[in-house]
């Protein structure tokens, strides 16, 4: 069986950042990746240091090439399907059938967005249906913006958006009762509240015409919008943390792997980084997390 110093499961912002530190420390590191980064739906990634506006694929392509330029780094386009800790050694089963092992493991497999179940929403995700004003708000500044509520936390999304546009509507969509103090705060920020049930997201292709709300005739009424913000629930993209018995905490949008200051999980020798191991989420935080996990794993090998 092939043995590495460290295996990194997931080769995106977090995983490649961890691998870079380990490769530069001249450790043998294997990155296993299925090539499905969370932001692959977006045409451009914003706010990432030195890379603003490039596509996620371009940014990750550059990072992958830079990591693989180091002779002790290797990448396999494969799935890590199972992980086990056996007497201090981490064993990973690959989807292609192989088995690899290492003294340390970094889990950087990311999360999957569970989107509100509404016709027309999924196909516009990352293009005109957006989750984060810091990532995509600038591009739709000054336009007609909506917030599709998934619960009371959506009030905060609606309260932020007037910094990007003076035309913001919060669709509560029957998900919660608006408290008086929230109503006041929204009004003070100039946010309209529409309590009608939203039945569909409509438009031509990925473009947005608006949301269809119930009432006003058989077909309902379309409220015109240029972009719709909403939030997702998240679940882990792989079962590796559960298989290993890593401690989990409940984060604001879903489960988060519990880690210490060096991103080591509750299972010795297993590190976790990126969206799977922190909240809130963005590419920069994921990358910084990966750096911490990579250096943490290296220090634990060197100083053991
Ligand atoms: C639509 C959208 C747009 C976004 N835009 C921005 C933006 O503009 N700016 C920004 O800073 N942030 C943005 N984000 C957030 C950003 O995408 C995430 O914070 C970031 O991708 C997290 O990086 P990660 O490495 O933790 O996980 P991911 O990027 O999700 O990568 C996880 C990797 O692990 C792989 N993987 C999963 N399971 C396995 C397995 N079992 N075996 C092997 N490999 C596996 C996946 O294929 C993937 O390559 C956006 C998010 C979304 C949803």
pLDDT at res. 297: 98
**What is residue 92's three-state secondary structure?**
strand
Judge contact between 272 and 106, C-beta under 8 A.
yes
Nearest-CA residue for ligand 1 atom 27 is 110
pLDDT at res. 120: 97
**Distance from residue 194's CA to the centre of ligand 1 (Å):** 32
**What's the average pLDDT block by block, 10 residues per block, for the chain (304 residues)?**
96 98 98 98 96 97 98 98 96 97 98 96 97 96 98 96 98 95 98 96 94 77 97 97 98 96 98 97 98 98 94
pLDDT at res. 215: 76
The residue length of the chain stands at: 304
pLDDT at res. 92: 98
**What is residue 240's three-state secondary structure?**
helix
pLDDT at res. 219: 67
The token pair at 156 is 């905060």
Listed in sequence order, the residues at least 6 apart from 110 whose beta carbon sits closer than 8 Å to its beta carbon are 10, 12, 14, 37, 38, 237, 274, 275, 276, 286
Nearest-CA residue for ligand 1 atom 15 is 282
**Most ligand 1 atoms within 8 A of CB, residue of 20, 30, 39 to mutate:** 39
pLDDT at res. 220: 78
Ligand 1 pocket, CB under 6 A: 9-15, 32-39, 41-42, 45-48, 79-80, 108-110, 113, 125-126, 131, 135, 237-238, 274-275, 281-284, 286
**Distance from residue 225's CA to the centre of ligand 1 (Å):** 27
CA 108 to CA 76: how far, in whole Å?
15
Q: Angle, to 10 degrees, between the axis of helix 13-24 and the axis of helix 56-68?
A: 20
Report the predicted TM-score, pTM, of the whole model to 2 decimal places: 0.96
């Amino acid at each position: 069986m092939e043995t590495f110093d460290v295996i990194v499961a997931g080769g995106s912002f977090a995983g490649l950042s961890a691998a870079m530190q380990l490769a530069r420390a001249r450790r043998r590191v294997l990155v296993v990746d299925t090539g499905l980064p969370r932001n692959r739906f977006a045409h451009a990634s914003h706010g990432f240091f030195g890379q603003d506006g490039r596509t996620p694929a371009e940014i990750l392509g550059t990072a992958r090439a830079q990591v693989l330029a180091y002779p002790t780094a290797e990448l396999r386009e494969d799935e890590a399907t199972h992980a086990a800790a056996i007497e201090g050694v981490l064993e990973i089963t690959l989807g292609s059938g192989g088995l690899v092992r290492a003294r340390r493991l970094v889990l950087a497999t990311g999360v999957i967005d569970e989107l509100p179940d509404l016709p027309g929403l999924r196909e516009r995700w990352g293009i005109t249906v957006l989750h984060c004003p810091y990532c995509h708000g600038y591009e739709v500044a000054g336009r007609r913006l909506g917030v599709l509520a998934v619960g009371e936390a959506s009030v905060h999304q609606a309260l932020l958006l007037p910094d990007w546009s003076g035309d913001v509507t919060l669709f509560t969509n029957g998900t919660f009762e608006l408290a008086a103090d929230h109503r006041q705060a929204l009004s003070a920020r100039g946010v309209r509240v529409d309590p009608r049930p939203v039945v569909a997201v409509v438009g031509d292709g990925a473009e947005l015409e608006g949301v269809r709300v119930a009432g006003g005739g058989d077909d309902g009424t379309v409220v015109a919008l240029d972009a719709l913000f909403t939030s997702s629930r998240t679940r882990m993209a792989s079962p590796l943390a559960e298989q290993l018995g890593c401690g989990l905490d409940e984060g604001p949008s879903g489960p988060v792997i519990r880690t210490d200051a060096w991103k080591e999980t509750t299972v010795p020798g297993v590190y976790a980084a990126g969206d799977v191991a922190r909240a809130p989420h963005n590419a920069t935080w994921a990358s910084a997390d990966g750096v911490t996990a990579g250096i943490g794993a290296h220090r634990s090998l060197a100083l053991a």
